[in-house]
Structure 1
Amino acid sequence: MTQIRGKENEPLADRRRSHGFAVTEYDAHQEVLRQRDWKLADVPFYKGKGAEHDPFAWNDFDYLDTYRQIYGRRCGSAGIGTLREVGITRPSADDEYSNHPYFHEDKAYMNRDGFFLLSDVVDVEKLKDEAAAFAEKFEENGVKVYWIEYPEKPIAAFGPMMNMHSAAELAIWPGGSIIPKKGYALAPTAGLGRAEYLARWAFWNLGIPPLITVTGTGVWVTGTFLADDVYCQGMGVETNWEGLNQVTPVLKRVCGEDIHVQPIRTPGWKYFDKYTGANTHGGMVISGLDIDKVLVHAAGVDID
């Protein structure tokens, strides 16, 4: 393997690398498969010696039926069932807004969606403590926690990345991830590169491949499930109809054609309105708590 080197012909520091080539769960699964005594009987549609085989049988073979055999695990959530695994980003000094060069160049531009509501400074140590406590509670309740770490000073498409503590924008549905295309104020620094890193991390470390990347003029961020067959999508500056139309066919393929997709036309033109609480993230205005029990922020939803 060729070692990538810096300007002075020195190897990159460990913290600047996006991944180390460590043994993953996929590698462990591969090792288990190597020990198996494989027979043609393990192959779908094999009918035995001399039998006529239908070359089109594989056309109807669902990817979800074999996904677990390839990667050694199931993945994704669709509904409000029991949480079993979760990925949490490990906060670092790079999460400090006031360290970002654009923040000093034009604070009003960076804050036009009201991100810095209480303070211009992020207490990174407190953020680390809260993330650790959050993970501890998950583990106490039987949820497996994976820590996601970014390289030192990660770069997005248009400059230094920010808001790395937010991992939920990478939707993980049955069979893989959905890479969104951001459309709000901080898209240049937080939205064009962050989800791509998360998708790369999930594929390499956990065997979760991308199912689709939102492209063209579509913008989309993940919505929220109220049940196995009910999905709500906030519409606004974060998601437009082109984006939803790209993602909906994938949603139906992995969750079933009968799933109901309910658009929520969020009021206003901002990502977040600090006076009303309106938010273009569907999960911030409606959330399924239990069967027949939903939490709603009424000011943030329409009446459709």
Structure 2
Amino acid sequence: MDINLTFQEIDPLLELCGHSHGLVCLTDCDDVFLVNPMTRQFHKLPPSILIFRGCHHDDPDYYSAIPFTIGFGYDAKSSDFKVVRIVSCRGQAEFRMRVEIYDLSKDKWREIGAPDICGSASSTCTFDMYHEGIFYWWGYGEPMIFEADHIITFDMSEVIFDEVSLSESYDDKKHKISLRVLNKSIVLFIYPFESNETNIDIWEMENDEYGVVSWSKLLTIDPHFGVEHPLLFVSCEELLMESNEGHVIMYNNKTQQFKKLQIEGDVTYVKPHRIEARDLFIKSLVSVEGGNQL
């Protein structure tokens, strides 16, 4: 479908930062919109209670709070939609992260505590994702704090940040990664980054009875042609991938056959990622109006 909304004339560069129960969240980090593509209804969220840009660095009282990253999802416990925003705060004598949450039912923001790990969360279209009450960001490594790159999670119901280690096979000097869902389980794509390798390894996240996360390899794909990056599984057997020419490729892991689809990314868009794919979208009549209208 083509979605022509009036706010796109104001800011056409809004990015998708998640969807749930038929609602889509679009943002440039400053402004946030909730959209129901089926009803064409949209709602601009109230201004942040944290974001503030100071006047000048030479000012001894200079202070700024700039949006860092955003996540959107559904809180099943309170039957509410939430937007979580991490804000980077800088002043003459301090640097720290603060976090605010928007509750659609209340149509307002509130601040919560910000643990140190939220400062490494980073949005990327191939990685950040909402799944079963949890939002996932890519966590970049920081010397003296984190030993390796990892995953940052946020529980929408419990309002808790956490971190998950990556598969030991991941090497940031050789690989790129994507996070997606297969058969309701989190899977990790590990694929080549400027190397002679062509294989794409797919790992499944597993949790034991104590909540300890581990990874087990599901399968390896050898495309035999240039693949920019994997997109997502559309079924347990079919995987969408983007070629380095901007085409969408369908791969069937049962028959091991590849098929070029009639979908192409914008060739004028700077590589990589001319095409973005998310988990399956479900149509709904849920209202995006906050407060009692929800």
Identify, as 1 or 2, the structure richer in strand. Answer: 2
Higher helix share: 1
Higher RCO, 1 vs 2 (CA within 8 Å, ≥6 residues apart): 1
Determine which structure has more spread, i.e. the larger CA radius of gyration.
1
